[in-house]
Structure 1
Amino acid sequence: MSPALPALHEIEDASRALGLGVGASELHGSLCGWLAGGGGDGADWLGKVLADDARPSVVEGSALDRMAKASAAQFEDGNFGFALLLPDGDAGLAERSGALFEWCRGFLGAFGLAAGKDPPLSEEGSEALADIARLAAAKPQDDGDEEDEQALVEIEEFVRVATLLLHGDCALGPRHRNSLN
């Protein structure tokens, strides 16, 4: 079983303390985009995903370090234990959908940094990336009904699976090809 992600509030606190200017969900999306695109999970990941080489490495054992290690382990989990760092079900629909769209925005930026201009995507991977881009451009709605709640759950699951697919195309695929050569 993969390690659990730190609590959302721990990542919010760490981001605020470092003056990162991004929320926890967007930062986790950035980390996941970086990893899915083939970027490494070394201590310098924060500077890489924020495109700020002056940013110091994350401190061993910190909330950001634990998030990176848990995320990397979740990507490698054969039981598909990968999770998105989002507000829990007690939060309102607007907060949860907004966080998901921020997660997607962070994912896209860092995925592009890691995977480059022409990533080795399958047809399904290309479609998944285009769908994540559409979600990144979406705006949260203020309120909704039970149908909207169910739709958000389904979209979250889609993003989770799409992220794993993109990781397979850009990180696992090249790694397996290299091991065969």
Structure 2
Amino acid sequence: MTELPSVDDVNQASQAFGLGASAAELHGGLCGWLSAGGAPVREWPARVLADDNLPTPAEGDALARLLDASVAQMEDRDFAFELLLSDSSDTAAQADALFTWARAFLGGFGLGSGQNRPALSEEGDEALTDLAKLAQASSEDFESGNDDDEDALAEIEEFIRVAVLLLHGDCVMAARHRQRLN
């Protein structure tokens, strides 16, 4: 199983590329792109950030490893998919990263699906709607050191993780299965 690069490595690569995006934003957008059926191509930052002028990550750098690990995790049969969020132990910072991830996921999902929204299962449609609600949330409601808030964030993170795998299953895995049957 391929591990995600560290938050610091992705943040440094983002700065080096002049992307102005956090690790959570990049990973969320990439996962949205992939979940909607966007191609896992090396020039993914240009596609996910909708800027054709962005450079293509070199083989082995943090952004290339982020792509490889994300693809491997999303297709892992043991559901080992993880969100790349924040190294901070501050609950508000974790919440910010989580909601930023969700917003970026929705943007990447929209770009990955193109003009036609993919056909989703009832559960997938509900998951996408719930993700849109989470993307509107704010960290202002979370306090550091509050066990209830930390538990709530862990539950939200788990929901997002499962929702992403469900949407990826609807849009990518089901399409592959249908192709094999034809």
TM range (shorter): over 0.9
Note the residue ranges of structure 1 that are not aligned, 5 or more in a row: none
Question: 2: CA distance between counterparts of 1:43 and 1:148?
Answer: 38
Give the aligned partner of residue 49 of structure 1: 48
Give the aligned partner of residue 67 of structure 1: 66
**Partner AA of 1:101 in structure 2:** F
Give the aligned partner of residue 97 of structure 1: 95
Question: 2: CA distance between counterparts of 1:78 and 1:151?
Answer: 26
Give the aligned partner of residue 111 of structure 2: 113
Question: 2: CA distance between counterparts of 1:150 and 1:50?
Answer: 32
The alignment partner of 2:3 has SS state of coil
Q: Deviation above 6 Å: which 4+ runs of structure 1?
A: none
Question: 2: CA distance between counterparts of 1:55 and 1:175?
Answer: 30
TM-aligned CA deviation for residue 34 of structure 1: 0.6
TM-aligned CA deviation for residue 118 of structure 1: 2.1
Give the aligned partner of residue 20 of structure 2: 21
**Partner AA of 1:108 in structure 2:** L
Give the aligned partner of residue 77 of structure 2: 78
TM-aligned CA deviation for residue 58 of structure 1: 1.4
Give the aligned partner of residue 132 of structure 1: 131
Question: 2: CA distance between counterparts of 1:23 and 1:123?
Answer: 32
TM-aligned CA deviation for residue 21 of structure 1: 1.4
Question: 2: CA distance between counterparts of 1:178 and 1:146?
Answer: 47
CA RMSD after TM alignment? 1.1
TM-aligned CA deviation for residue 165 of structure 1: 0.1
Question: 2: CA distance between counterparts of 1:169 and 1:58?
Answer: 29
How many residues are aligned here?
179
Note the residue ranges of structure 2 that are not aligned, 5 or more in a row: none
**Partner AA of 1:143 in structure 2:** E
Question: 2: CA distance between counterparts of 1:7 and 1:118?
Answer: 32
Question: 2: CA distance between counterparts of 1:20 and 1:133?
Answer: 24
Give the aligned partner of residue 180 of structure 2: 179
Question: 2: CA distance between counterparts of 1:143 and 1:118?
Answer: 37
